[in-house]
Structure 1
């Protein structure tokens, strides 16, 4: 039994040693260069740099439409593509650029607020893009007073 195991072991070792070829001879250098270029390109990402990420409309009268513009620059190394921009409610409507924004170029995202609500109102706009984080958040806020000028909130007792 020992002789059979030893013989089979020697045959396997001889077989493996005879099949061994120089692995470096099988490498195609043009494929390596293409893979390196692909990996370098994958590291390049766009970066959205906003001038401001929050806008305060101050005190406004209820149902008075408001609008602000969030300006940004692509400070990254690849074209920026904004795929979506949405708000936490239907009273706030963001309008995003439709085409790509090249590195170094600027763009604008317009946010319209219909002035609904009462007292302190804060809305978040989520921008989805091909950045490393994937999303950016912008905020708008306002203090909304009633149309008829009635006081908002609890009344003080004398």
Structure 2
């Protein structure tokens, strides 16, 4: 019985040492206030802080208006990876969407988020740049 308990402890310790982890530079990207039809693509950057290759198996968004793109190749230990997210900016109003990542990490499911407000008209930045070009 002691041998079984010892093996169980060693198993859990080895899992914790060999577990995959990844850390995001930002877990939420705030688009801020942008104009209708603006570029809706943003990039989440993460680092594999584990000691084995990180494999992103699947990514799902909370709505069809958000399209995530996962890295196709494994991310090696210490390397950075990217998840591209495109939001449909033709939808006016505030938004807050969740993107769920499924991987071989210690915590196999990770949620990242996007949020922002889509204005009906042209943004002030666009108006200023149009005025300064004249």
Bin for the TM-score computed over the shorter chain? 0.7 to 0.9
Residue of 52, 76, 92 corresponding to 2:26: 52
The corresponding residue for 1:126 is: 100
Query: Is 2:54 aligned against 1:80?
Result: yes
More helix by share: 1
Please identify the structure whose Cα radius of gyration is greater. 1
Would you say how many aligned residue pairs link Structure 1 and Structure 2? 113
Question: Once superposed, what is the RMSD of the aligned Cα atoms?
Answer: 2.4
Are the counterparts in 2 of residues 60 and 144 from structure 1 also a CA contact under 8 Å?
Answer: yes
- 1:16-35 aligned at under 5 Å gives the runs none
Corresponding position of 2:36? 62
Given that 2:36 and 2:122 are in contact with CA atoms closer than 8 Å, whether structure 1 keeps it comes out as: no
Shift of 1:105: 1.1
Quick one: distance in 1 between partners of 2:19 and 2:77? 9
Alpha-carbon distance in 2 for matches of 1:91, 1:142? 13
Stretches of 4+ moved more than 3 A in 1? 39-43
Instruction: State TM-score, norm by structure 2.
Output: 0.74
| Residue of structure 1 equivalent to 2:69 | 95
Within 2, Cα distance between the matches of 1:146 and 1:73?
A: 37
Question: Larger strand proportion, structure 1 or 2?
Answer: 2
Deviation, structure 1 residue 46: 1.2
Q: State the secondary structure of the residue aligned to 2:81.
A: strand
Q: Does 1:138 align with 2:129?
A: no
